[in-house]
Amino acid sequence: MSAAAATPSDDPHIPVLLAPLLRAVAPVSGVWVDGTFGAGGYARGLIEAGAKTVIGIDRDPLAHEMAAAWLPEFGGRIVLHQANFAEMDQIASDVDGVVLDLGVSSMQLDQADRGFSFMKDGPLDMRMGQDGPSAADIVNGADEFDIADILYTYGEERASRRIAKSIVAARKMAPITRTLELVKIIESCLPRPKPGQSHPATRSFQALRIAVNDEYGALMQGLMAAERALKPGGLLAVVSFHSVEDRMVKRFMQARGGQAGRANRYAPEIETEIPAFQIVTRKAVGPDDDELAVNPRSRSAKLRVARRTEAPAGEIDAGQIALPQLKEDR
């Protein structure tokens, strides 16, 4: 791991796959967007690798509070905006690169009062931007069918109906407002995990977090925004942590890179668009043994990189990238 990836002991976030990302996009120069700023690990790495300026974007107020202490060290070369990365093309244009690190960050998981963790007691919140409905609002306000749909569609939880039924029964007694209250309900619906298996609440908490923050919708819009923001030759680098996000990123790059192909070889050929991207990483890049030793959380991480062409920016629909959709949205 490069010096840029070396994280001070007081920094709660180790940037995942930073070294392979910097190798894949080298040489780094010009203006870059770090669309998921977090603790700023990627932004600092890009500056040290040669970027002139990094435009950071994060909707989490915590990221802005933490950055205030060290941003002045970079003399204005890192500029931070409070927004969703799906809006990046309203903040920047003609940029040399875009980096996205998807999912919840370790610094969010580590703070019990954010409500992301099923291992710590805290308010059942899960909002990254601190606005809009919280997880408690969904758990206490949605009907049983919708809760089950969220758990199954976004968490791939096979016991979704059983858990939803138990949630509705429990909230009739008293509102569910704490993370460990919800964990107890979920655990009562599932068998005790065997050694090495994930915590019973893992899938349900993932599903609620995705629903609260519209993570899949933001990813779809963010990928299209990156296409609009990048200049010809600019690079899009995306780090994902679970299979659904990685599949969406892969299919976006294939669809916009002219590699989607025809589902039926007997179907008549249609006029195809000029590819908007050239895929740089033919296969997803994962962590090496050295990174796994330093940062076990990187185990499931996958990096994909594509280069923008001179073709006009276009649009994609949910079906093209296998966007998981709740039944009410289909």
| Ordered domains of the chain (ranges, CATH) | 18-107+215-329 (3.40.50.150), 112-213 (1.10.150.170)
**pLDDT band per the 50, 70, 90 thresholds, residue 289:** very high
Lowest mean pLDDT among 14-28, 235-249, 253-267, 316-330: 253-267
- The mean per-residue pLDDT over the stretch 242-253 comes to 95
Does residue 9 register a pLDDT over 70?
no
pTM exceeds cut of 0.85:
yes
Does residue 268 register a pLDDT over 60?
no
Of all residues in the chain, the percent with pLDDT exceeding 90 is 82
Instruction: Report pLDDT for 266.
Output: 58
Q: For 133-143, what is each residue's pLDDT tens digit?
A: 999 999 999 99
Q: Residue 112, exposed/middle/buried by CB under 10 A (0-12, 13-18, 19+)?
A: middle
**pLDDT band per the 50, 70, 90 thresholds, residue 269:** low
Say how far apart CA 236 and CA 189 lie, in whole Å. 42
Q: Which of 75, 59, 43, 77 is nearest to 237 (CA)?
A: 43
Tokens of 304: 């994909």
More reliable by pLDDT, 108 or 19: 19
Say how far apart CA 217 and CA 284 lie, in whole Å. 22
> Dihedral, CA atoms, 233, 239, 242, 245, nearest 10 degrees?
-30
- The mean per-residue pLDDT over the stretch 53-58 comes to 98
Instruction: Report pLDDT for 174.
Output: 98
Say how far apart CA 190 and CA 197 lie, in whole Å. 13
Does residue 262 register a pLDDT over 80?
no
- The mean per-residue pLDDT over the stretch 218-241 comes to 97
**pLDDT band per the 50, 70, 90 thresholds, residue 196:** confident
- The mean per-residue pLDDT over the stretch 102-123 comes to 87
Q: Beta partners for 285?
A: 303
Instruction: Report pLDDT for 327.
Output: 86
**pLDDT band per the 50, 70, 90 thresholds, residue 13:** low
More reliable by pLDDT, 9 or 109: 109
**pLDDT band per the 50, 70, 90 thresholds, residue 131:** confident
Long-range pairs for 180-183 at CB < 8 Å and ≥24 separation? 180/118, 180/120, 180/121, 181/124, 182/118, 182/124, 182/135, 182/139, 183/118
Q: Beta partners for 31?
A: 53
Q: For 168-187, what is each residue's pLDDT tens digit?
A: 999 999 999 999 999 999 99
